[in-house]
């Protein structure tokens, strides 16, 4: 009975949100198209991936016609602000820094990040299943970070330019390692496979897919799974601040998709695990 009531409430809120956005019939959503399995371009030139499937699910619930376009990461927020498109769905973490310029929906995914390093570098063994939340760093967390610093001293690490991973790497390791910023995750992978860099930091699920390819077999996870801190509470839809009606509609559609298991099913399809958010009770 409680589940039925929750779903009914979500449906009511979704309808209410759309009532405020009734003048909208269609929107355009930007995705990077270069970070599989979150979003990438297939052999037919179409955008596919987790973000795209979630976007289609939400648009169906909001009764909006949605068009998806690819946009380079460096320009994805500026493009939103100049109204090149109406929303961003590109595995974008909700952060305080980004919230200064754009708004976000509630999270539609929560996923960890992790360091990868090339095999054969003589690095010490590490617990890759351990979790390290970078919010409220205490003495034990400082000790873990210091061990990572000692292991990565003098190494070359690749990160996506203008990403949270870049901010974390520069904050934690910028003084003891060389940090190289890239315009796409694909170019980081290429330089890892070509041994032009020693490792990198990014979304763990994206790395997992890469490590299962022939090009990624010489690379492995290193250190704990990282979350919190700069990465914030999860991945959300990026929106212009003035589009409060659209933020409400997305939020209600996300809640309904979590309650009836749709987001869980899409997560399992693309990642093999459930990364849908836990909603407040």
pLDDT in tens, 154-191: 999 999 999 999 999 999 999 999 999 999 999 999 99
* Sequence ranges of the domains in the chain: 2-110+233-271, 113-231
At 131 the pLDDT is 94
At 281 the pLDDT is 40
CATH of 113-231, one of 3.40.470.10, 3.40.50.1780, 3.40.190.10, 3.30.70.260: 3.40.190.10
Residues 6+ apart with CB under 8 A from 203: 35, 38, 91, 111, 113, 165
Is it true that 2-110+233-271 and 113-231 share their CATH fold? Answer: yes
Residue with tokens 């899409």: 266
* 247-258 mean pLDDT: 97
d(CA 243, CA 14): 16
d(CA 68, CA 82): 17
User: Distance between alpha carbon 46 and the CA centroid of its chain, in Å?
Assistant: 20
When mean pLDDT is compared across 6-15, 34-43, 145-154, the lowest value belongs to 6-15
Task: Tell me whether residue 222 is exposed, middle or buried, using C-beta atoms within 10 angstroms of its C-beta: 0 to 12, 13 to 18, 19 or more.
Answer: buried
When mean pLDDT is compared across 21-25, 113-117, 134-138, the lowest value belongs to 21-25
**How is residue 178 written in tokens?**
């060389």
CATH topology of domain 2-110+233-271: D-Maltodextrin-Binding Protein; domain 2 (3.40.190)
In three-state secondary structure terms, 256 is helix
pLDDT in tens, 137-148: 999 999 999 999
DSSP 102-146: -EE-S-SB---EEEEEETTS-PPP--TT-EEE-SS--HHHHHHHH
Is residue 250 within 8 Å of residue 239, measured between CB atoms? yes
- pTM, two decimals, is 0.82
At 1 the pLDDT is 47
Residue 95: pLDDT over 80: yes
Task: Give me the percent of the chain exceeding a pLDDT of 70.
Answer: 91
């Amino acid at each position: 009975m409680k589940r039925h009531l929750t779903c009914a409430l979500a449906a009511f809120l979704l309808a209410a949100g759309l009532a405020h956005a009734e003048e909208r019939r269609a929107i355009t959503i930007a995705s990077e198209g270069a970070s599989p399995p979150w979003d990438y371009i297939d052999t037919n030139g179409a955008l596919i991936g987790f973000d795209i499937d979630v976007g289609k699910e939400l648009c169906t619930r909001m009764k909006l016609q949605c068009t998806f376009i690819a946009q380079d990461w460096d320009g994805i927020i500026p493009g939103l602000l100049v109204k090149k498109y109406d929303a961003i769905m590109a595995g974008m973490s909700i952060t305080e820094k980004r919230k200064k310029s754009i708004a976000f929906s509630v999270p539609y995914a929560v996923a960890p990040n992790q360091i990868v390093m090339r095999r054969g570098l003589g690095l010490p063994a590490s617990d890759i299943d351990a979790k390290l939340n970078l919010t409220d760093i205490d003495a034990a967390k400082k000790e873990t970070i210091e061990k990572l610093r000692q292991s990565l001293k003098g190494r070359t690490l690749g990160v996506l330019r203008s990403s949270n991973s870049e901010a974390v790497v520069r904050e934690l390791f910028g003084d003891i390692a060389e940090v190289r910023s890239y315009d796409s995750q694909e170019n980081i992978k290429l330089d890892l496979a070509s041994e032009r860099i020693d490792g990198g930091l990014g979304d763990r699920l994206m790395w997992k897919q890469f490590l299962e390819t022939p090009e990624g077999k010489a690379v492995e996870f290193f250190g704990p799974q990282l979350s919190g801190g700069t990465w914030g509470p999860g991945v959300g839809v990026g929106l212009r601040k003035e589009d409060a009606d659209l933020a409400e509609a997305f939020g209600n559609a996300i809640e309904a998709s979590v309650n009836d298991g749709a987001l869980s099913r899409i997560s399992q399809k693309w990642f093999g695990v459930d990364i849908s958010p836990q909603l407040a009770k």
